[in-house]
Structure 1
Amino acid sequence: MDIATLIGIIIAGGGILFAMFETTHGNLAAFYSTEAVIVVIGGCFAATLMGMPLGSVLDLFGYLKKWLFGKDMKVAELIKSLTGYAEVARRDGMLALEEALKTQKDPFLRKGLQLAIDGTDPEIIEETLRIEMEALGERHRKGKKFFDIIGSFGPGFGLTATVIGQIAMFQNLGGDASAIGKSLSVALVATLYGCILANVICGPIGHKLAIRSEEEQFIKEMTVVGIMSIQSGDNPHVVEMKLQSFLSDRQRKVLDKK
């Protein structure tokens, strides 16, 4: 699991639960309302179904997996692999990479090098890889859009439930005090649900997915440059220098120490 995500969940969840516990002296049930859940959660899900294709909505667990278990960029490992492939190609020829590719787990890198080994035209190799990059980016954008939609509608449906609760409260003015209290409670709890949904759940998830997508596109851009450099016959040092051009000075210093 992504450590930063785990820490964020613990801090946010723990802080909110602590505040709830302290303000109600342990009566956490005060923050639950079936009516608010139906309007806010159900309403947001319904709005998402109306705003996105069903297939994109059904990919929810895939989006969550990417958010929870996304891996950090392994730039040093990629540069080392591509430089190693360049050495093999320079010394033994492109066909010698066939054996080296058997242990390569990255399908994108494996596909690009296989095209180069097969003698495919450089323009076709680059075009094929960039089409795959664009398709990947589009899939990632759908994941972010999913949580953006829910997050944008959360406060609105929270307000809807709040208005419903207030209407019920005004209708009971002069009547049963407990009914007034229940209606007001529903109104406030619904607002809380909308705020949490937008700012604690969907907002952070959407931002993390966007960052993960940018990181993956960055890695794939490096991969394309490395493959094209190997295919053109550049020596390993040139391949390494091209790949290091993607890095900041600090990243290069860290890489040099390894």
Structure 2
Amino acid sequence: MDPATLIGLVVGFAGVLVLMFFEGTHLSAILLPGPLAIVFVGTIGAAIAGGTMGDVVHAVKSMPKAFTAKAPKRGTTIETIIQLSDRARREGLLALEDAAQEVEDEFLRDGLMAAIDGTDPEDLRVLLEDRIDTKRSQDRVAAGFFTSMGGYAPTIGIIGTVISLVHVLENLSDVASLGPMIAAAFVATLWGILSANLIWLPIGTRLKRISDLECAQMEISLEGLLALQAGANPRTLGERLRSLVPAAELGESAKPERAA
């Protein structure tokens, strides 16, 4: 689990609480049922209206991924491909059938099995590229759902504030209550802006980032499989694949060996 999202949200909300403490504002002043209801329910409703029910289901299922997903280890994938390539050069492609069953990466395993089955290299490329494009498209839908919520929330908050201000104007004769009523009216705007920037937009951005990393790993697997199928030199293949990944991500164990 990569805790970046959880840590970021905790830090963000902690900043809000610290400000409230120094301003002398009690937490109950912003935890008002009405503003919370219109902001969160209204935002979710607007996001649902902007897509399909399939989009909603996919987005809800993807939400935990924003908190629990681990960044894929591309260096590990590269080392696996190099080992498979070395064995294929020595024993032939068919010798990898048993090894393929032990590969944990589903995309790499399926692609390797297709190569072992004798799939034409061009057909294999098209097949794997289509899978990458499909995944990227699905992930974009989930990320876009939460990003759109981040766009709707501030406006929904303003709507809530306007509704509350209408109520304030209806009670101008009650001078003693004007201050608290006006303060409560702006709570909806606060939650609209706060939820957009500390909940929905970070989740959408996180899902997109994880998707980019996963698709990048799949593209490395794709290039590695095609080179493996073509009988590429394992050392040359390793250097080529490593050049596609930032050195800091590879780690010492994944760096190519240098001749003495």
Report the TM-score range of the alignment, normalised by the length of the smaller protein. Answer: over 0.9
User: One-letter code of the match for 1:230?
Assistant: L
CA distance in 1, matches of 2:58, 2:247: 38
CA distance in 1, matches of 2:193, 2:171: 27
Describe how 1:96-115 pairs up with structure 2 within 5 A: 96-115=95-114
Describe how 1:121-200 pairs up with structure 2 within 5 A: 121-175=120-174, 177-178=176-177, 180-200=178-198
CA distance in 2, matches of 1:15, 1:63: 27
CA offsets 1:80-134 (integer angstroms, 9 cap, x no match): 1000000111111111111111211111000100000001111111111011001
With normalisation by structure 2, the TM-score equals: 0.92
CA offsets 1:8-51 (integer angstroms, 9 cap, x no match): 122112222232344346x3111112211222111111111110
Describe how 1:208-219 pairs up with structure 2 within 5 A: 208-219=206-217
Distance 1:213 1:22, change over 3 A: same
Residue in structure 2 matched with residue 44 of structure 1 by the alignment: 43
Residue in structure 2 matched with residue 203 of structure 1 by the alignment: 201
CA distance in 1, matches of 2:96, 2:210: 30
CA offsets 1:138-166 (integer angstroms, 9 cap, x no match): 11101111111111011101110111111
Q: Is the contact between residue 38 and residue 160 of structure 2 (CA under 8 Å) also seen in structure 1?
A: yes
In structure 1, runs of 5+ residues without a counterpart are none
CA distance in 2, matches of 1:60, 1:247: 29
User: One-letter code of the match for 2:229?
Assistant: Q
Task: Choose which of 234, 237, 250 in structure 1 pairs with 2:235.
Answer: 237
User: One-letter code of the match for 2:133?
Assistant: E
Residue in structure 2 matched with residue 13 of structure 1 by the alignment: 13
Q: Is the contact between residue 24 and residue 30 of structure 1 (CA under 8 Å) also seen in structure 2?
A: no
CA distance in 2, matches of 1:176, 1:240: 76
Residue in structure 1 matched with residue 30 of structure 2 by the alignment: 31
Percent sequence identity is: 33
2:104 partner SS = coil
Q: Which moved more, 1:110-119 or 1:7-16?
A: 7-16
CA distance in 2, matches of 1:198, 1:106: 35
Distance 1:139 1:88, change over 3 A: same
Residue in structure 2 matched with residue 4 of structure 1 by the alignment: 4
CA distance in 1, matches of 2:256, 2:237: 19
Residue in structure 2 matched with residue 116 of structure 1 by the alignment: 115
CA distance in 1, matches of 2:245, 2:54: 37
CA distance in 1, matches of 2:256, 2:223: 24
Q: Which moved more, 1:162-171 or 1:133-142?
A: 162-171
CA distance in 1, matches of 2:149, 2:50: 10
Q: Is the contact between residue 39 and residue 157 of structure 2 (CA under 8 Å) also seen in structure 1?
A: yes
